[in-house]
Amino acid sequence: MKFIVFEGIDASGTTTQALLLEEALKKKGIDAIRTKEPCYGTPTGDLIGEYLHKKHEFSPQTLALLYAADRLEHNREIQKWLSEGKKVVSDRYLHSNMAYQGAHGIDIEWIRILERFTFPPDLVVFLRISPEEASKRRQEKDRNEENLAYQKKVAGMYERIVEKEWLVVDGTKPREEIHAIVLESVTSAP
């Protein structure tokens, strides 16, 4: 598997697991690179970052378009890395757009149409965790009813889009145990 993506609600462990996988692959002598979305440092990614830091307000449709545009630009880098023989580990990808914008009421089939030019991952690792459990992991300032209600919607959207090919892992397990499951799956596959 060359292109591995981690998906899950906020505080599910996607960033931690992407980092652990990249480090483990490098220790095994495998040329690996970790990336994340949105892709900060690009005009579209920076605009999304400003939205996430409450500097702009956009409609959910505009956000879905911005995320899809950011991903198309990011795909050029991903394909370049893959052509160089690297394994690419991504913290979030196109399924986040479907889950998060879908939670805002956007039709996920419309998002699938937007994402039709997106390069598909070889493996999606979905870290399944309840919004209540995830909220315990977040800092106190992030724990509020509005965010919890939204994360419940996001979790529901992930459950609607999860595919049988995904590696679904219980996100409440210790991070080392999750990492071992993921590493075994990634290194045992061709």
Higher per-residue confidence, 52 vs 4: 4
Of the candidates 80, 73, 72, 88, the residue with the CA atom closest to the CA atom of residue 25:
88
pLDDT value at position 141?
46
Question: pTM for the complete prediction?
Answer: 0.92
pLDDT value at position 156?
97
Lowest mean pLDDT among 6-20, 58-72, 134-148, 152-166: 134-148
Q: List the domain boundaries for the chain.
A: 3-188
Residues in contact with 68: Cβ distance below 8 Å, sequence separation at least 6, in sequence order: 94, 97, 111, 114, 115, 118
What's the mean pLDDT when you consider all of the chain? 90
Q: pLDDT of 102-128, one tens digit each?
A: 999 999 999 999 999 999 999 999 999
| Cα-based distances in Å from 2 to 20, 68, 74 | 16, 22, 16
Question: pLDDT at residue 190 above 70?
Answer: no
- Where b means 16+ CB within 10 Å and e means fewer, 132-141 reads eebbeeeeee
pLDDT value at position 104?
93
Give the CATH fold of the 3-188 domain: Rossmann fold (3.40.50)
- Residue 77 CB burial class (10 angstroms; 0-12, 13-18, ≥19): middle
Secondary structure string (H, E, C) spanning 121-163: CCEEEEEECCHHHHHHHCCHHHCCHHHHHHHHHHHHHHHHHCC
Q: pLDDT of 31-87, one tens digit each?
A: 999 999 887 777 888 888 888 777 778 888 988 998 899 998 899 999 999 999 999
